[in-house]
Structure 1
Amino acid sequence: MGRLNFILLIAVLASGLMLVRSAYEARRLFTAVDREQAEGRRLEADSQRLQAERHAQATNIRVEKVARERLQMRGITPAVSQQVDDQQGARATVAAAAASTGARP
């Protein structure tokens, strides 16, 4: 009878230790899930902020302003547009435009 009691005592202690270990592991995993969910919410907020900034950067007025200031572009008028009929004419037009601006074709 003493041997059976000892075996049962060892089984109860092992069961208790396994219970404590599994509870600790569950708490650790729950904390990790909560941390990752918070990170996901933060990334979602960053994504929405960046999309709003991209939308603000891509407005027509801003694109036109950047094109005029940085790229020094101007609007198309009949005075600056040329029509080219063939490849030789296109090469001649490019060469003439390059010569007038001092750039290489």
Structure 2
Amino acid sequence: MTRLSIVLLAALMVSAMYLVRVQYDSRRLFTELDRAAAEAHRLETERGRLEVEKRAAATSLRVETLAKDKLAMRTVTPAVTEYVTSANALPAMASAPQAERRSP
């Protein structure tokens, strides 16, 4: 009877140790899952902020201002438009009336 009690006691101890280990792993994995969810939320918030910044940076007024200031560009007017003709013009352009062609 004492051998059976010792075997059952050993089985109980192994089972208890296994239960403690499983609970510890469960808590650790839950903590990691919670951290991953918080990180996903932070990244989604960051993505939304960057999308707003991208839309703000792509407005036509901002692009025009940067083109004028940094690239020294100017708006197109007929006074500054140059028409370039090529010696290898398409046959359709060669037969166009003279009044429609413009040269600098």
TM category, shorter: 0.7 to 0.9
* 1:53 matched to 2:53: yes
TM norm structure 1: 0.80
1:76 is aligned to: 76
Which SS does the other structure have where 1:85 is aligned? coil
TM norm structure 2: 0.80
Any gaps of 5 or more consecutive residues in structure 1? 89-105
Cα offset, 1:79, TM superposition: 1.7
Any gaps of 5 or more consecutive residues in structure 2? 89-104
Cα offset, 1:87, TM superposition: 5.9
Moved over 3 A (4+): none
Matches within 5 A, 1:1-105: 1-86=1-86
State how far apart, in whole Å, the 1-side matches of 2:33 and 2:76 are: 57
Cα offset, 1:44, TM superposition: 0.5
Percent identical pairs in the alignment equals 47
State how far apart, in whole Å, the 2-side matches of 1:85 and 1:65 are: 32
Which one has more relative contact order, counting CA pairs under 8 Å at least 6 apart? Answer: 2
* Aligned positions, number: 89
State how far apart, in whole Å, the 1-side matches of 2:17 and 2:26 are: 14
